[in-house]
Amino acid sequence: MILVIGGAFQGKQQFARDISGLEDWADGRTCGEEELDTCSGMIHFHEYIRNRLAKGQDCTGIAERVARTNPNVVLVANELGCGVVPMDAFDRRYRETVGRICTGLAAEAEAVYRVVCGIGVKIK
C-alpha cells in the first residue's frame, strides 16, 4: 500500500500518477463503497470517508480492513485537521476520523508521501 497525503491543490494526484504509473483511479467523491476493496488506486479518499460518515456509518477499522483486502492499493487523501477546531460537530468528527484512518493506513503502508507545492517527500 502507498499513501499520498498533503494539503488541497498541492499536486497530489499528479504525483501519485507519476510514482505509481496507474491510469485508472476510483474517485472517492462518487465511487461505491465496495470499490475500496477492489480498486488499484483511489483519489479523494477523504471524501470517500466523508460520504460514509454522512450516511451514519461507523468507519473504525477501515484502515486495517483495506490493508487486508487490498494490500497494494494507492490512496490519495487530503491532509485535514490543521485548522481551527470547526464549530460543527460533524465537521469535527469528519476531520478527526480521516486523521485517525490515515494514521492507521500509514502504519500499514510500505511508503507514505507528503506532497507540498507539487513535490512529494517520502516520510515513510
Partner 1 sequence: MMGLPMFHVITGGSGSGKSAYAEQCVLDLGPAERIYVATMYPYDEECHARIARHRQMRSRKQFATVECYTGLAGLRVPAGSVVLLECMSNLVANEMYQEQGAGEGTVEAVTDGIDSLLGQAGHLVVVTNEIFSDGLQYDEETARYQRYLGEINARMGCLADAVTEVVCGIPLTVKGGKSS
Residues within the interface to partner 1 (CB under 8 A) = 3, 5, 7, 79-85, 89, 92, 95-100, 102-107, 112, 114, 123-124
Q: Select 11 or 99, whichever has its Cβ closest to partner 1.
A: 99
* Residues 6+ positions from 91 with CB-CB distance below 8 Å: none
Are 69 and 34 within 8 A, CB to CB? no
Least distance from partner 1 to the Cβ atom of residue 24, Å: 25
Is the sign of the CA dihedral 65, 70, 31, 43 positive or negative?
positive
What is the 8-class DSSP label of residue 102?
A: H
Least distance from partner 1 to the Cβ atom of residue 67, Å: 14
**Which residues, in sequence order, are bridge partners of residue 2?**
74, 111
Q: Select 21 or 83, whichever has its Cβ closest to partner 1.
A: 83
Q: Select 30 or 92, whichever has its Cβ closest to partner 1.
A: 92
Q: Select 54 or 123, whichever has its Cβ closest to partner 1.
A: 123
Q: Which of 16, 44, 40, 17 is nearest to 30 (CA)?
A: 44
Least distance from partner 1 to the Cβ atom of residue 56, Å: 18
